[in-house]
Every structure is written in structure tokens, then in C-alpha cells.
């Protein structure tokens, strides 16, 4: 209750997407400028998708007659759920959404209220409207409206439970055609789930449907309607208890506590129990496990494993449908979504997802038959499947030509890091490289290497013992990599050559030949760095097992700084729509003015290499002499040095970070050469740089990449020891990009 009431009451607000600060902004967004799109849309209605928010806007509409499993609470009391659905659209699929509660129980009044809203929206999500009215309402609105109309409790639930069923049958070795199912609840959700599982291969005669009156058998008269009778079968069973005897699967879409432990005991061995009523299931997982420990159990709730909830579907199904401007959401699109969800559960789960679920290692099996809602891969897995099915079934009004590009754009919608690096990842994909993953026996590095390979970035080389690595891959259920090489330093035919190379470097630094031999055999960072140095690999990543400085020292034994360059660390902050490079975050404690100037030049160069035209601010606690203190002099001198060097990028300082990043504050200094906010911040020292960047990172304020090592003569990156497999892939991609840029310069 507190959460819903705190701050601005409720869960949504509306934010403008265009500037609204000046008179000119107003003239463009409102009168007179707004007249132009109006006139254009009047001539060609399809232009509404180009000049208004329609194409990304969905209405969540309810009359509150079946609010979750709480029954008919009325339109107003349904608003918290509908606001919730609207924010889930935004959070999970970047679909803008608004809730509309329609205060009538009358089917025709409801239809007449909604049918005229098509101009406003790209789609209509009907929610929590009870059966059988919901069937008539949806059917009529689908006929009357030229945009997708989708009753989520029917089809969203059907799609997710079908995906869960596909996997639960797989895990228990059952075939659709032989599986006996009992569905409890013959309302919106129950009937739709039943129809979809039948279209996937469950046989009509193998399903018993029940409602508050018990089994829906052929010839029953009480409490019937045409949707129930379509599923009535010839059976002697009359009660839910009788129906469940020997059944393989239970689907609960009814109400809290509808099933007992006694009933579960009579089901077939290893039963599948989806107790999906919200907020409380038909039976709790604890109750099931107490009488049947090997059952596969799912609920609609977030606090148990296996959440079968339509939140896994509706945001992404609409995303795909909107993106091809589908006229409707048809059966082919629903089946495609169910299959995409089922397939995703069988893939390796990213660390970030495990972390969001209290570190529980999620792996395809009885406790993980379906992806979790916070899985960021859902957005690139489901909408493309839905969009493709729409195109193949002829309901897409704007087909997507580049489906691979579409999937990538989808991940970038929610992941600022992916968006910030998109140009780089594309370049790397087009020019795959050989990358050493030096700590090749570490599970995270193995998973990163597999992901790197399967994403098409290049050829990973894991350093380690083949049997150990293969065993880890088997134990963690990793999918096969498209390409993967394993090099054991002790067995490699290159060891002699590498030892000679290393000995030449170290012989006058106190090392004997056998010391070099030991380093090559035992230190994977040294072996890996030698692979890169000798041209046997293009780049390398490491950092999980040694702290940053140890790893860095080992690498420096093999690799020199680039001629004339300074070695330092650069951290990249990626906020939505904004990328900021901060340096030096790792090496120089108190850079001299010349070093500060060097850091500025090299960081500006890196920013440009990564596709961002640099605007450099030399950071201090003071701004252009205020407050005046000779401690800021070092930074001022660095600016003078840059002046003398006539560098090819915009820079200025000294200035404090708020001035550097805020256009309003910057405008108080009209003489500044920086006219727009800086995107490169050169910090005055290591204290300020590391403290500020680690604070931001650990508070989760902004996604961070790095620190990225700058100034080595070969592309090698060191991650932090707590890096996730995803972070490692990002660093590997950056190292590859660096390798490519060096080739271009050569
Ligand atoms: N996990 C998920 O994603 C979703 C879960 N649900 C849940 O499914 C349930 C039904 O929702 P919905 O279909 O929209 O609602 P409806 O009002 O359309 O249908 C409810 C159905 O459940 C039946 N029913 C109610 N209580 C019992 C009971 N004790 N035993 C047997 N049948 C019962 C009713 O029977 P009768 O016809 O005799 O009245 C009716 O057929 C809710 O709990 C809801 O939270 C719904 C959508 C998504
Ligand atoms: C999840 C959902 O939509 C429901 O329980 O009604
Ligand atoms: Mg619902």
C-alpha cells in the first residue's frame, strides 16, 4: 500500500519527447506548427504513425469484472492492476501505454465506448473482463477496429502456459498426443489456454474442463454457455477430484485453494501442475511438494520458481505486432510467441538474470521451465518471432526486411550499453577476430566465450585444460559454440617459441630461461599476451582471477606501451541517449599537466574511434578560476599545453563536472569553447576519478563499461574480478574493435 501511495500516487506519469523550453519549441509542437501534421494526416491516415505517438501506444482497457482472481471489483478498483499492466508494457518492451477503466457491465455499452478509440492507439489490450462477456467483446471489437485487439487474460495466458507446457512435457518425456489434461476454470483464461494447447497437439478427448459446478461433460445443462460446451466431453467424471485421477497435467485458472493435496496424490507419476490463479494459486508449491516431490509446479506469482504469468507475453507480443503495424494478432503469431518463449528457457541464462533472482543459478529443468520476467533477452527473442509470423501470415502492413538488425535494435531499446555500442558491435561482427580468453577454465569466461562466438563476434580461444573446460561446459549445460578453440599452455607446440620471446624481453631484468619457461607454462595471462604479441591471436581479455593490478603487471611483462603513448584507464558511462568517457580511472595517481594533456588527447582519440565526436572538459572542483586556488593550476596548465599543441578537438577547462555536463550551467560561461555539454571528462587525479566512477556504478545510477585499458601496444583488456559473462563479452568486443582500428591505421 505504501509503495502505491508514496510520492506521486499510482505508477505512471507522462513525459514529453520533444523540447518544451522556448517559445520556438511551443510554436513547433503546438500552434501554429502542429497544423501541418494535422493536414497531412487528414490527407493520408497512415501518416499518423509517422507524426504522432499512435504507433507505439497501447490502451489497457478493463471494466473490472474479473480483476485477477479477485472477481468483479468494478472499473475503479481495477485501476491499480491496469496501471501496473501499462508500466509493464513500458518497462519490458518500451511500448507506451495508458490504462482506461470503462464503468459499465453492459457488453454493448463497453463495445461502443472502445470501438471509436482506434485513432488514438496502435493496439488495444483488453484486461480482466470476465467470461463469457469477454469473448463477445473481443470478437466484436476485432471486427470493428482496424488495429490489434488482444484480450490478455485469454491469449497472453494461453501463450505463456503453452510455452511452459511444451518444456514440462519435454522434461518429463511426454508427447502432446498422449497427455491427459485437466483445466480448472472455464473463463477467459481457461478456455483460451485450452484452445491453444489443443492447437499444439493436445487431443480433445484427453482434456477435462471444470468450473464451479465441476466437470463440464456432454449433456450438462447447469451454468453452461457455448464456449464451455465446445469443450464438453463424454466422461463419467463429475468432480474435479474424479477428473484429476490419473491426469498428467493440471491447469488452474480458477481461484485460490481450488485443489487439495489428496487430489494431487491421485495424478499420474511426475505430474505437471500449473496453479495460475492470482494472487493466490489453486494450491501452493509447498503443498504439492509435500505429497509429490517430483511434480513440476508453476504459479502465476513472482515469489516462486516457474512464474507462468502473461507478463512474459503481452509486452513483447504487442512490440512485434506494432513494429510491423499488424492489423491483428492471429493464431500464427501466438504460436510463434509460445515457441520462442519455450526455446529461450533452454538457453544459458546471463549472470545479470541470476543476480536479479538472488543469485539462484537458473538452468533448464523442473525449477526453470520458463524464462524469468527480468530476462533481457525476451525483447530480442519474442517480438521478431511475432513479427515474422505476422509477415508470413499476411497481416503485417509494414514488413521488416532486416530481421537480424531488428533483433539488435530491440535489445538496444532497453539496454543503454548495447545501444551505445551498437556501431562497434556491428563493425566487429563484420570483421570477426581471434580473441584469447586467458582464464579459460573459469565458468564465466567459458560462458562469455560461447556467447561471443554465438553472437558472431569471432573465434574465441580459451586457455586451459581441455577436459576441465569441456566438463564445465557439460555441467553448466552450455549450448555448443559455433567456433571455439582450447589451448593448453603446457601442451602447445608454440611454448618453445613463446619462451624464447619472453626470455629475450626479460633476460636483462633478472629472469633465467627457466623462469621464462615457468611463466609461459603456468601464467595464463603471460601465455595469452604472448599469443597476441606474436600474432597468433588478435586480442585478449582477462581479469576474473587476479586483481586488476596483478593482471596488468603480468601483461606488462610481455607487452609494451604503444610508442609515444601513456597507459591509463578510461571508463565509459552510458546513460540513455548519452555516452560519457571518463579518464584516467586506473593508473596515474596525480598526473602532471603534460600527462593530463596526453590523457585528453588519447581519450578524445578513443571516443572518436568509438563513434563519438569528442568534447573534452578538463575537470576540477573549480570553474574558470572560481574558487581560485593554486591546486587547480595543474589543470589550467594542461589546458595551456593543449592550446600549444593545436589539437583537433574541442576542449576547455578547468571546470567542475556539473558545468561540463549541464547546458544551462555552461551557458553562464559564454566565452567557453565548449558550447555543448562535454562527453569526455579528464579527471584531475585518480582519487576523484575512481571514487566518482565507482560510486555511480555501485549505486546503479548509470551503466558503466570498463575501465578500458588505453595505451598498450596490443589490444588487451582487463575486466574487474566481479565482471559478469556479459561484461567480459563487451570487453572482448572492445578489444576486437581496437584491433580492427589498429589494422586500419597500419
Ligand atoms: N497467471 C496468469 O497469467 C493469469 C492468471 N489468471 C487467473 O485465472 C483466474 C481466472 O481468471 P479469468 O479467466 O480472467 O476469470 P473469469 O471470470 O473469466 O473466469 C473464471 C472461471 O473460473 C471458474 N472458477 C472460479 N472459482 C472456481 C473454483 N473454485 N473452482 C472451479 N472453477 C472456478 C469460474 O467458474 P464459473 O464459470 O462456474 O463461474 C469461471 O469459469 C484468476 O485467478 C486469474 O488471476 C488469469 C489470467 C492470467
Ligand atoms: C496475470 C493476470 O492477468 C491475471 O491474473 O488476471
Ligand atoms: Mg489479467
In the structure grid, which three cell numbers stand for residue 641, read together?
599545453
Q: What is the mean pLDDT of the chain?
A: 93
Q: Say yes or no: CB of residue 272 within 6 Å of ligand 1.
A: no
Mutational pocket test of ligand 2: of 80, 92, 125, 152, the residue with most ligand atoms within 8 Å of the beta carbon: 152
Question: Cell 493496439 appears where?
Answer: 123
DSSP class of residue 584 equals -
Query: What pLDDT does 296 receive?
Result: 98
Q: Say yes or no: CB of residue 65 within 6 Å of ligand 2.
A: no
Mean pLDDT for 572-587 is 87
Query: What pLDDT does 745 receive?
Result: 64
Distance 68 CA to ligand 3 centre (A): 5
- Does the pTM of the predicted model rise above 0.80? no
Mutational pocket test of ligand 1: of 151, 253, 260, 263, the residue with most ligand atoms within 8 Å of the beta carbon: 253
Distance 64 CA to ligand 1 centre (A): 14
End-to-end CA distance of the chain: 63
pLDDT surpassing 90 at residue 234:
yes
Distance 71 CA to ligand 3 centre (A): 11
Q: Report the alpha-carbon distance of residue 317 to residue 332 in Å, rounded.
A: 12
pLDDT surpassing 70 at residue 107:
yes
Q: Which residues pair with 125 in a beta bridge?
A: 60, 150
pLDDT surpassing 60 at residue 358:
no
Confidence band (pLDDT; 50, 70, 90) for 698? Answer: confident
In the structure grid, which three cell numbers stand for residue 345, read together?
528457457
In the structure grid, which three cell numbers stand for residue 458, read together?
569471432
Query: What pLDDT does 344 receive?
Result: 96
Q: Report the alpha-carbon distance of residue 519 to residue 517 in Å, rounded.
A: 5
Q: Say whether 228 is catalytic.
A: no
CA angle 316, 321, 322 (to 5 degrees): 95
Q: Report the alpha-carbon distance of residue 32 to residue 739 in Å, rounded.
A: 52
Question: Cell 581441455 appears where?
Answer: 466
pLDDT surpassing 70 at residue 576:
no
List Cα–Cα distances, 547 to 543, 553, 690, 718, in angstroms.
Answer: 7, 10, 15, 9
- Whether residue 147 contacts residue 124, with contact meaning beta carbons closer than 8 Å, is answered with yes
Judged on CB neighbours under 10 Å (0-12, 13-18, 19+), 250 is: buried
Q: Which of 90, 78, 248 has the alpha carbon at shortest distance from 177?
A: 248
Distance 187 CA to ligand 3 centre (A): 12
Q: Which of 334, 418, 330, 341 has the alpha carbon at shortest distance from 382?
A: 341
**Does this complex have an ipTM over 0.90?**
yes
**Ligand 1 atom with minimal separation from the 254 CA:** 22
% of the chain exceeding 70 in pLDDT: 98
Mean pLDDT for 496-519 is 94
Mean pLDDT for 605-631 is 88
Residue located nearest, by CA, to atom 39 of ligand 1: 212
Residues whose CB falls within 8 Å of the CB of residue 65, separated by 6 or more in sequence, listed in order:
72, 105, 128, 129, 130, 133
In the structure grid, which three cell numbers stand for residue 448, read together?
562469455
Q: Say yes or no: CB of residue 299 within 6 Å of ligand 2.
A: no
- Whether residue 100 contacts residue 61, with contact meaning beta carbons closer than 8 Å, is answered with yes
Query: What pLDDT does 583 receive?
Result: 95
277/425: higher pLDDT: 277
pLDDT surpassing 60 at residue 414:
yes
Q: Which of 704, 703, 733, 701 has the alpha carbon at shortest distance from 717?
A: 733
Query: What pLDDT does 408 receive?
Result: 82
| Binding site residue list | 67-74, 127-128, 153, 278
pLDDT surpassing 80 at residue 746:
no
- Whether residue 572 contacts residue 730, with contact meaning beta carbons closer than 8 Å, is answered with no
Q: Report the alpha-carbon distance of residue 584 to residue 718 in Å, rounded.
A: 15
Q: Which of 374, 546, 538 has the alpha carbon at shortest distance from 459?
A: 538
Query: What pLDDT does 19 receive?
Result: 79
Residue-level length of the chain: 746
Q: Say yes or no: CB of residue 278 within 6 Å of ligand 1.
A: yes
Q: Say yes or no: CB of residue 309 within 6 Å of ligand 2.
A: yes
Q: Which of 672, 676, 675 has the alpha carbon at shortest distance from 655?
A: 672
Query: What pLDDT does 697 receive?
Result: 82
Confidence band (pLDDT; 50, 70, 90) for 574? Answer: confident
Q: Report the alpha-carbon distance of residue 208 to residue 242 in Å, rounded.
A: 10
What are the residue ranges of helices labelled H in 348-401?
351-356, 378-392
Residues whose CB falls within 8 Å of the CB of residue 286, separated by 6 or more in sequence, listed in order:
none
Query: What pLDDT does 423 receive?
Result: 77
Q: Report the alpha-carbon distance of residue 526 to residue 524 in Å, rounded.
A: 5
Q: Report the alpha-carbon distance of residue 594 to residue 605 in Å, rounded.
A: 17
List Cα–Cα distances, 253 to 82, 100, 210, in angstroms.
Answer: 19, 25, 10
List Cα–Cα distances, 631 to 28, 580, 643, 644, 672, in angstroms.
Answer: 47, 25, 20, 22, 21
In the structure grid, which three cell numbers stand for residue 331, read together?
493464431
Residues 420-444 pLDDT 10s: 777 788 889 889 999 999 999 999 9
Query: What pLDDT does 359 receive?
Result: 61
pLDDT surpassing 70 at residue 281:
yes
Q: Say yes or no: CB of residue 598 within 6 Å of ligand 2.
A: no
Mean pLDDT for 506-514 is 93
SS3 549: helix
Domains of the chain: 2-147 (3.40.50.10380), 155-392 (3.40.50.720), 423-558 (3.40.50.10950), 568-711 (3.40.50.10750)
Confidence band (pLDDT; 50, 70, 90) for 141? Answer: very high
- Which ligand has the shortest distance to the CA of 240? 1
637/422: higher pLDDT: 637
- Whether residue 696 contacts residue 573, with contact meaning beta carbons closer than 8 Å, is answered with yes
Distance 10 CA to ligand 3 centre (A): 18
Rg over alpha carbons for the chain, rounded to the nearest Å, is: 30
Confidence band (pLDDT; 50, 70, 90) for 60? Answer: very high
Bond preceding residue 10 cis, omega within 30 of 0: no
DSSP per-residue string spanning 42-98:
HH-GGGHHHHSGGGGEEEEEE-SSS-TTS----TGGGHHHHHHHHHHHHHHH--EEE
Q: Report the alpha-carbon distance of residue 264 to residue 289 in Å, rounded.
A: 10
Q: Say yes or no: CB of residue 66 within 6 Å of ligand 1.
A: yes
Catalytic site residue from 85, 180, 444, 606: 85
pLDDT surpassing 70 at residue 517:
yes
| Binding site residue list for NADP(+) | 67-74
Confidence band (pLDDT; 50, 70, 90) for 702? Answer: confident
Amino acid at each position: 500500500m505504501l509503495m502505491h501511495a508514496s510520492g506521486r500516487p499510482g505508477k505512471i506519469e507522462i513525459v514529453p519527447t520533444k523540447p518544451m523550453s522556448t517559445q520556438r519549441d511551443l510554436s513547433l509542437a503546438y500552434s501554429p506548427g502542429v497544423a501541418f501534421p494535422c493536414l497531412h494526416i487528414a490527407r493520408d491516415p497512415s501518416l499518423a504513425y509517422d507524426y504522432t505517438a499512435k504507433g507505439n501506444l497501447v490502451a489497457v482497457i478493463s471494466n473490472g469484472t474479473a480483476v485477477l482472481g479477485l472477481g468483479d471489483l468494478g472499473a475503479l478498483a481495477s485501476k491499480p492492476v491496469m496501471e501496473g499492466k501499462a508500466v509493464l508494457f513500458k518497462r519490458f518492451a518500451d511500448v507506451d501505454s495508458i490504462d482506461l477503466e470503462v464503468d459499465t457491465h453492459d457488453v454493448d455499452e463497453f463495445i461502443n465506448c472502445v470501438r471509436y478509440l482506434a485513432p488514438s492507439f496502435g493496439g488495444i489490450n483488453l484486461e480482466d473482463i470476465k467470461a463469457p462477456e469477454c469473448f463477445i467483446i473481443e470478437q466484436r471489437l476485432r471486427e470493428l477496429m482496424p488495429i490489434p485487439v488482444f484480450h490478455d487474460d485469454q491469449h497472453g495466458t494461453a501463450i505463456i502456459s503453452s510455452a511452459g507446457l511444451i518444456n514440462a512435457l519435454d522434461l518429463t518425456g511426454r508427447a502432446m498426443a498422449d497427455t491427459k489434461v485437466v483445466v480448472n476454470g472455464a473463463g477467459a483464461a481457461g478456455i483460451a489456454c485450452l484452445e491453444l494447447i489443443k492447437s499444439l497437439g493436445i487431443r480433445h478427448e484427453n482434456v477435462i474442463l471444470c468450473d464451479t459446478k465441476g466437470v463440464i461433460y456432454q449433456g450438462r445443462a447447469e451454468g453452461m454457455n457455448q464456449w464451455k460446451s465446445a469443450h464438453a466431453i463424454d466422461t463419467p467424471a463429475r468432480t474435479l477430484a474424479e477428473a484429476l485421477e490419473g491426469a498428467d497435467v493440471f491447469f488452474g485458472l480458477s481461484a485460490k485453494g481450488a485443489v487439495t493435496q489428496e487430489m494431487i496424490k491421485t495424478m499420474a507419476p511426475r505430474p505437471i501442475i500449473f496453479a495460475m490463479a492470482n494472487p493466490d494459486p489453486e494450491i501452493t508449491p509447498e503443498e504439492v511438494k509435500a505429497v509429490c516431490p517430483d511434480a513440476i509446479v508453476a504459479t502465476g506469482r513472482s515469489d516462486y520458481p516457474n512464474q507462468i504469468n502473461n507478463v512474459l507475453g503481452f509486452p513483447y507480443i504487442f512490440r512485434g505486432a506494432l513494429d510491423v503495424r499488424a492489423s491483428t494478432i492471429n493464431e500464427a503469431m501466438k504460436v510463434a510467441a509460445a515457441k520462442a518463449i519455450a526455446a529461450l528457457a533452454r538457453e544459458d541464462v546471463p549472470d545479470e538474470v541470476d543476480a536479479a533472482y538472488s543469485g539462484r543459478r537458473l538452468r533448464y529443468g523442473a525449477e526453470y521451465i520458463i524464462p524469468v520476467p527480468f530476462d533481457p533477452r525476451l525483447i530480442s527473442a519474442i517480438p521478431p518471432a511475432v513479427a515474422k509470423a505476422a509477415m508470413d501470415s499476411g497481416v503485417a502492413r509494414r514488413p521488416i526486411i532486416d530481421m537480424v538488425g531488428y533483433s539488435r535494435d530491440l535489445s538496444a531499446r532497453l539496454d543503454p550499453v548495447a545501444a551505445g555500442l551498437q556501431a562497434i558491435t556491428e563493425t566487429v561482427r563484420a570483421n570477426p577476430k581471434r580473441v584469447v580468453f586467458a582464464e579459460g577454465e573459469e565458468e564465466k569466461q567459458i560462458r562469455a566465450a560461447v556467447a561471443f562466438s554465438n553472437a558472431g563476434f569471432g573465434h574465441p580461444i580459451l586457455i586451459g585444460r581441455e577436459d576441465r573446460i569441456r566438463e564445465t561446459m557439460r555441467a553448466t549445460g552450455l549450448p555448443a559454440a559455433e567456433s571455439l578453440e582450447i589451448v593448453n599452455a603446457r601442451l602447445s607446440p608454440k611454448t618453445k617459441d613463446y619462451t624464447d620471446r619472453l626470455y629475450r624481453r626479460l633476460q636483462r631484468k633478472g629472469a633465467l630461461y627457466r623462469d621464462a619457461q615457468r611463466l609461459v607454462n603456468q601464467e595464463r595471462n603471460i601465455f595469452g599476451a604472448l599469443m597476441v604479441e606474436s600474432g597468433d591471436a588478435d586480442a585478449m581479455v582477462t581479469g576474473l582471477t587476479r586483481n586488476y593490478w596483478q593482471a596488468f603487471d603480468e601483461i606488462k611483462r610481455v607487452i609494451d606501451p604503444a610508442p609515444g603513448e601513456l597507459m591509463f584507464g578510461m571508463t565509459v558511462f552510458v546513460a540513455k541517449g548519452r555516452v560519457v568517457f571518463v579518464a584516467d580511472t586506473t593508473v596515474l595517481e596525480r598526473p602532471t599537466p603534460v600527462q593530463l594533456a596526453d590523457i585528453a588527447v588519447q581519450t578524445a582519440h578513443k571516443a572518436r574511434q568509438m563513434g563519438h565526436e569528442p568534447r573534452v572538459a578538463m575537470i576540477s572542483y573549480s570553474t574558470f578560476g572560481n574558487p581560485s586556488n593554486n591546486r587547480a593550476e595543474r589543470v589550467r596548465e594542461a589546458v595551456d599545453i593543449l592550446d600549444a599543441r593545436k589539437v583537433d578537438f574541442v576542449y576547455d577547462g578547468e571546470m567542475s563536472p556539473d558545468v561540463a555536463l549541464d547546458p544551462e550551467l555552461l551557458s553562464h560561461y559564454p566565452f567557453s569553447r565548449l558550447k555543448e555539454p562535454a562527453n569526455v571528462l579528464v579527471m584531475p587525479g585518480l582519487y576523484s576519478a575512481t571514487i566518482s566512477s565507482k560510486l555511480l556504478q555501485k549505486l546503479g545510477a548509470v551503466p558503466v563499461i570498463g575501465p578500458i585499458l588505453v595505451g598498450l601496444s596490443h589490444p588487451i583488456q582487463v575486466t574487474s574480478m566481479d565482471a559478469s559473462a556479459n561484461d567480459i563479452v563487451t570487453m572482448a568486443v572492445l578489444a576486437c574493435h581496437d584491433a580492427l582500428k589498429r589494422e586500419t591505421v597500419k
